[in-house]
Structure 1
Amino acid sequence: MTHQQDNPNHEDDKDPDRSAAPNQENGKDADIVHLDVARAGRQPQNPADRSEQDNEDSPASADGPVLEGAVVRVDQPGPTAADWRTALEAKARSRQPIVPLWLRSRSEAVETVKWVGLHYLHVAGYQVCRVPLYGGRLTARAPRGLLRLIGGSLKWTFDLEGEPVRLAAVQKADPEAYLKLSRQRDRRVRLRALVSAAALVTLLIVAIMVAKQPTAMQWMALAVAIVTLGILGKPADRPLINRAVVPSTVEKLTSDIVVRSLTVLGIAGINQAIAKNPKDAIRFVAPITRDGPGWRADIDLPYGVTVADVMDKRDRMASALRRPLGCIWPEGDSTIHEGRLILWVGDKDLSKTVIKSPLLKASSHDVFKGIPFGCDPRGRAIVVPLIEQNILIGSQPGQGKTASVRVLASGAALDPSAELWIHELKGTGDLDPHEQNCHRYVSGIEDEAIGYAADSLALLRKEVMRRAAALKALPPDLCPDKKVTRQIADKRSLGLHPLVAIFDECQNLFAHAEYGDKAGDDAEFIIKLGRALGVILVLATQRPDKDSLPTGISANVTIRFCLRVAGQLENDMILGTSAYKNGIRATVFQPKMDAGTGYLLGATPMPKVVRTAYLDTPATQRIADRAHALRASTGALSGHALGETPEQNAPTFDLLADVLAVVPPSEAKVWNEAIVDRLAELRPDVYGAWARLEGGAKTAQLTTALKPYGIKTMQVWGTPEGGGKGANRIGITRDDIVTAVTQRDRGRAS
């Protein structure tokens, strides 16, 4: 009809899709349009099938331009030849795994088998311990069982169960029926009496034979008789055997319950979809199944509704499901689409679950295999990789941040090849048990402790540069990927073993007026370059803002663990930009109740809610003592652990300023090796080791040192300073140094 109004000169008899008829009620002419025909008119047709009439009516030919007002047909009239394959490919993306998920992971399979074994071992032990109790019950019930056996035998032998029927025939004065019943009863009694007599004689013979057997056999026969009679004498309301495991009373999760919980969330997109199509608005892409200690439902939310919308209202969903908040864990699967919801409803409240760390009983540990960190809501063990990683932990005070650090420190301490540096900048001594295992250790909030931690970062920066040169010098057969491996770490003489540096309450360092800026630059340098060199930073903070946690640090860490935080800004500072928008929200955790529970990113393929293993001070002390004995036996103790004087950091220096000092404005481009020699003359205590390097190692040393500042090297034409033939070698442009200094100073000022 709209087309008719836009084209007043249109002729009805030329359009087979419309028929005109007068509207007598309104007194106006109007088109009566058949909806199916109109829809078909919007669908493109095969040019070979178009009629001449269509071509005449169309303002433009199939190959010509589309004129204004022309009918553009956009909907396909039916499935095309490729649609079946597209549909098959879409289904293939949702194929159910042949091998169950818990069997794909060796550690998870071991945990599952271990749990099943311990479960049935507990059941067996529980019942074995109660054998005397069950024997007493059977003995007490045996007389009643004997009476029931005798009474039942007599009732069966003399057909007493038919007595009421025969009495009814007598009361009705029906002699014919009574005689039939009496004859039937006589036949039954004769047969049953013979069977009963035979059974009685058999029992007497068995009793006589048992009486002639040894005493043990007699006791065994008596036990069998008591058990049999005790079972016959069991009251209907009192079971013989107690339950070793009380079954859960949790309501089974069904589709109706899930839909009910989603409809009460107050999400407009869900309510509108259900109002239009109650049956298919919420689609279950797989059956609801048991998944660990809980139920799992895979759901496609209505169009336009995201998983983040549901996660915002987790507390309402818990109310609708009548479960504690710690049992409800919705999460998304963005690999499929943003509306795929995986709802997991646990049997037990995660906040009331205590996770025991396997480190409590471990005699040693290998940090190259990661550190057992805790469990997800489904009870699956979570291992945090340490090698080639840097870790950032953040939360509000009292939410389990330091306890999380304890787990990582304990795992690193149990590996004698790992060098441990701990800086506890709160001053409460939470990490004191591991002091005996540390190469460097400090605990305090005073300026001396902060300065010690700043010195550690400066020393780590030097260590990173030393390791870069050492790793570069290794032969390709020993280090083909130019990364620290277990084989290289075990060669202690190379000095390329894992070095784990922990900074708890690092905001006290980075926000310090005197040490903060330099410490931030050093930490960013280490994070960017130290991963492949075996230097790992673990930073923990309770104040994640731009002043306390420089953005260069928070943007480059690879693993993030965020316990409860107050708002979106703190959430994204720890978990990364747009984490809150994507539904990864540590604000959903409850104060104190969810202490030790947080979002873990980077350690697993998808973000996970993880509850960390709990190590109190006595448990940490036991692990630390075991680690100390292990390190002492292998000769791995060093530095602070041996009572040595702490290594002092060299005087602070500014590399960029030093380069500008040795490269005058008249030299636009200079070779790296020339700059290193000049730097060594300027500060021998700082750059002397660089100048002693040979060949390409000297050039690579300066390239590596300038990389964090965004300065790139290039081919530079020059001549040796002592004179000689000119050549192209790796060098830098002085203007790049000036630009980097200007941008850095401007950033610090802002």
Structure 2
Amino acid sequence: MTSTTEQYGPDRPEDRYRVDGGAADVVDLSAARVRLAPDTQPDTAPDIRPDTVPDIADPVLEGEVLPPLPTPADEGWLPIIPVWMQSKTGIRNMVRLTLRRWWYRIRFTAVRLPWATVKWTGRAVRGSWRISGRLLAWALDTRADAMEQELATGARQDAKEFIRVREDRARRIRARLVVLGLATLVGAGGGAYLWFFTPRLVQVLVAMVLVTILARVGANPDTPLIGPAMATSSGYLQLSDAILMRALNAAGLGGTVAKVDRNGETTEEGNRPTLAQPLQRENAGYLAMVDLPFGKTVADATKGQAALASGLDVDEVQVFVENVRGSARRVSIYVADEDPFMLPPRRSPLARLPRVSVWNPNPLGADVRGREVCPSLIFNSFLIGAIPRSGKTYAGRALVAPGFLDPHCDVTVLDFKGGKDWQAAEQLAVTFRLGDDDEDLGYAIGALQNLKGEAQNRFKAFRAMSDEQNPEGKLTPELAKAGYRPHLIVLDEVQNLLRAPEKEIRDEALALLVWLAKTAPAAGFTLVMATQRPATDVIPSDLRDNTSVRLALRTKTWQSSDAILGSGINAIGFGTQRFLEEHKGAAILGGVSNGRGGDLQVIRTDLLKNSDFTQICQIGAQRRADAGTLRGHAVGQAEEIVVTVTILSDVVAVWPGVEPKVQAKTLVERLQEAYPSKHAHLDQTSLTKALKDHGVPVVQVYRDGSNRNGYALAAVRKALAKAEGPDITNS
């Protein structure tokens, strides 16, 4: 296959497989041509001299910045076209909902049709009896019986009047019997004609009409032929203003009514919730825009989500509350027609293998209202947590897939479970390792140390550049084209590394991960950690709080949810403990703006099947081979990993000058100051035990008028040389 050089950066039109609406940019044509020029530099080694970086200063545009004109949405106008009609998805969901309801009613009725036929026949027989009785009563003029009885035995005894009434009744009976007889003959003749001279279809249709008429006559209005197809629950009813206000009252958001005195004058104004716009259909549910009572905020509505669901008579996972920009008391309440997480998941658009770039936001999933959620890999670090079999691995694959498809992004994969989940990534990874044995954990520490060193070297190079070459001191698309490629670091089952048997491994791992999550993103290193043990003793707050984006899937308790999302997040209504076992891919995403003034949102991650992920890795490897960026483990040139994780190296690093002996107290203080994340809880006893394990004896050191336990520099260096190599003594 012919090797080709691709353009790189967010400005490549072929890298955009989605079309997002937005305002146009004013660009300088000459600068644009420079950015869009083909990359002819060999994208191999990252150690490029600062003077080789091209001049990438942006032009200064002069002019008056005009404020944007207000849009109808800003002024509170309602959309001319309903929301559900503004997208193919909305129309499709509305049609699907209507067809689904009618299809359910058809199936419901079809199953009960045999018994309904029996009941229908019985009603027809009863209708025949009722019609016959009414015709007979009409023919015999039974209504005259009461009058004759009154004239014969009552207070109005009148023989002449009695005789006249009897004769009139007799004439009516004779006439009616003639009419009834003629009608019977006509009916019999018509029936014979239908039976002998009409097609079978006509006979069936006439019989059905007659039976229907007879059954309607014989029906009891209080007893329907077939019971209602829908349960008596608001889950199947149309949402109304009254139902919504009932739910707000149930959640303690009903406010207060106005108080009126005896004279009808208002003594206290009412403070009730109001609808900011009429209820409307959106996607597969109802959307309500509510102005809460004064003094109530979205936090109150979010905390009362369970009570809202009870007031609406639906499941809690069908109710979603969000803030609305412009007013602290205005909220949107979305009520799904059914549990949105029980529906089939959306297949990831990345399964179509588009040309993507890590510099652009890429789809991870969608929220319950169908709005796509697109985090950006660049300049972020990620933490994914869930209990086993909740979709954690699938969510991680969907997140990192853009980095795998982008040929200008290096990839490191360290899977501490050792399964097959990430095995397909071996063909494109710069560094790759599976397993959680001591050797695997040591290799991982060495790999992370190398990545930290590479990031530090980049920062040194950035500092040497001019402001025109690197105005913000971080990676840019132009620098990435010059060789400083983004680097995606994937760590699955990271709890096995953070809970390693050796304390030194644990401390070093935590310090490295905190640094890579907090500092390395500016150099283009994106750390993605996943764990099935979401707990504070596994994911310390220092690591979690320095991770910019957090994705929490199902957990057992709110404490585990907060261990991923952050302390106190459950208290404001965002907790993953409410997800059910069947809610695969349901998650709460924090750290990605939702465009509505917040960064917490409930989403459903896209699905990348095993076959899709394998194909993504194959295409990613092929694209790297074509672009000349495939290196490291993927081509059998894995870099040498030297593990330097020991308390000895830290002690040597903080040793005061070349003093032959130092007290333990001094070393503990210097270690805590230099490595706060690793040695925050270190004391003299722990230090003595750690050094004793490496053969460093305790000696008496006299300083400042006191004789205390300490250590000799020669003994520490000798132990370090034995642990890490003979050349350390010459350092």
User: How far does the alpha carbon of each residue in 1:196-230 deviate from its partner, in whole angstroms, 9 at most, with x for none?
Assistant: xxxxxxxxxxxxxxxxxxxxxxxxxxxxxxxxxxx
Q: Which residue of 2 aligns with 1:168?
A: none
Q: Distance in 1 between matches of 2:501 and 2:520?
A: 26
Distance, in Å, in 2 between the alignment partners of 1:473 and 1:629 is 35
Residue equivalent to 1:633 = 626
> Are the equivalent residues in 2 in contact too, given 1:433–1:617 (CA < 8 A)?
no
Q: Residue 309 and residue 566 in structure 1: after superposition, are their counterparts in 2 closer, same or farther (change >3 A)?
A: farther
Give the RMSD, CA atoms, in angstroms. 4.0
Q: Deviations over 1:300-330 (max 9, x none)?
A: 3446665555545645544543545543222
SS at 1:593's partner residue? Answer: coil
1: CA distance, partners of 2:366 / 2:467: 39
Unaligned runs of 5+ in 2: 1-70, 97-208, 213-234, 260-267, 661-665, 687-731
Aligned partner of 1:622 in structure 2 is 615
TM superposition shift of 1:574: 1.2
User: SS at 1:435's partner residue?
Assistant: helix
Instruction: Select which of 578, 589, 599 maps to 1:600.
Output: 589
Distance (whole Å) between structure 1 residues aligned to residue 456 and residue 576 of structure 2: 37
1:539 to 1:350, Cα distance in 2 relative to 1, 3 A: same
The answer (yes or no) to whether the contact 1:597–1:611 under 8 Å persists in 2 is yes
Task: Write the mapping of 1:392-403 to structure 2, written as runs, cut at 5 A.
Answer: 392-403=383-394
Q: Confirm or deny: 8 A CA contact 1:413 1:624 kept in the other structure.
A: yes
How many residue pairs end up in the alignment?
A: 457
Q: Which has the higher contact order (CA 8 A, sep 6+)?
A: 2
> 2:574 is paired with a residue of what secondary structure?
coil
Report deviation, 1:737.
4.3
Corresponding residue of 2:652: 658
Look up the SS of the partner of 1:285 in the other structure: strand
The C-alpha deviation readout for 1:144-176, integer Å capped at 9, x for no partner, is xxxxxxxxxxxxxxxxxxxxxxxxxxxxxxxxx
Residue 637 (structure 2) pairs with residue 644 (structure 1): yes
CA distance in 2, matches of 1:433, 1:380: 30
How far, CA to CA, are the matches of 2:257 and 2:94 in structure 1?
Answer: 45
| Correspondences of 1:197-216 after superposition (within 5 Å) | none
Structure 2 Cα separation of the partners of residues 478 and 652 of structure 1 = 36
Deviation at 1:368, TM superposition (A): 0.3
1:376-423: per-residue Cα shift (whole Å, max 9, x none)? 111111101111110111112221111111112221100011111111
Deviations 1:636-695 (A, max 9, x none): 2111111224531253366763343253579xxxxxxxxxxxxxxxxxxxxxxxxxxxxx
User: Are the counterparts in 2 of residues 371 and 411 from structure 1 also a CA contact under 8 Å?
Assistant: yes
TM superposition shift of 1:332:
3.8
Cα 1:646–1:659, aligned 2, differ >3 Å: closer, same or farther? Answer: closer
**Equivalent of 1:414 in 380, 405, 408:** 405
User: Is residue 255–residue 271 contact of structure 2 (8 Å, CA) maintained in 1?
Assistant: no
Q: For residue 333 of structure 1, report the CA deviation from its aligned partner.
A: 4.9
Match of 1:383 among 353, 374, 389: 374
The answer for the alignment partner of 1:443 in structure 2 is: 434
In structure 2, C-alpha distance between the alignment counterparts of 1:567 and 1:102, rounded to whole Å: 43
CA deviation digits over 1:694-728, x for unaligned, max 9?
A: xxxxxxxxxxxxxxxxxxxxxxxxxxxxxxxxxxx
Is residue 747 of structure 1 aligned with residue 681 of structure 2? Answer: yes
Q: Is the 8 A contact 1:458 1:519 kept in 2?
A: no
Answer yes or no: is the 8 Å Cα contact 1:350–1:377 preserved in 2. Answer: yes
Residues 738 and 390 of structure 1: CA distance in aligned 2, closer, same or farther (over 3 Å): closer
Mapped contact 1:665–1:734 kept (Cα < 8 A): no
State the TM-score, normalized to the length of structure 2.
Answer: 0.56
Partner-residue secondary structure (3-state), 2:239: coil
Whether the aligned pair in 2 keeps the contact of 1:511 and 1:547 (CA below 8 Å) is no
Q: Distance in 1 between matches of 2:479 and 2:675?
A: 41
Taking structure 1 as reference, are residues 460 and 353 closer, same or farther at Cα in structure 2, changes over 3 Å only? same
Specify which of 497, 500, 519 is matched with residue 488 of structure 2: 500
Query: In 2 relative to 1, CA 577–102 (structure 1 residues): closer, same or farther, beyond 3 Å?
Result: farther
For 1:516, the equivalent position in structure 2 comes to 506
| Counterpart residue number, 2:569 | 579
* SS state at 1:369 partner: coil
* Superimposed CA distance per residue, residues 412-459 of structure 1 (whole angstroms, 9 cap, x where no aligned partner): 100011111111212221122222111111222322322222222211
Q: Secondary structure at the match of 1:423?
A: strand
Aligned 1:133-144 pairs, distance under 5 A: none
| Structure 1 residue 547, shift from structure 2 partner | 2.7
In 2, the alpha carbon distance for the partners of 1:115 and 1:272 equals 36
Give the secondary structure class of the aligned counterpart of 1:368: coil
- Aligned counterpart, 2:131: none
Matched, 1:257 2:255: no
**What is the percentage of aligned positions where both structures have the same residue?**
27
Secondary structure at 1:452's aligned position in 2? helix
Q: 1:370 to 1:736 in 2, by over 3 A?
A: farther
Structure 1 residues 661 and 441: alpha-carbon distance in aligned structure 2, compared to 1, 3 A threshold = same
SS where residue 563 of structure 2 aligns? helix
Q: Per the alignment, do residues 470 and 586 of structure 1 end up closer, same or farther by CA in structure 2, a change over 3 Å counting?
A: same
Q: Which amino acid in the other structure matches residue 579 of structure 1? A: I
**1:664/1:546 Cα in 2 relative to 1: closer, same or farther (>3 Å)?**
farther
Q: In 1, are the aligned partners of 2:491 and 2:528 still within 8 Å (CA)?
A: yes
What's 1:471 paired with? Answer: 462
Q: Is the contact made by 1:367 and 1:386 (CA closer than 8 Å) also made in structure 2? A: yes
Deviations 1:479-512, CA, capped at 9 Å, x for gaps: 22221111211222xxx21101011111111111
Q: Is the 8 A contact 2:271 2:294 kept in 1?
A: no
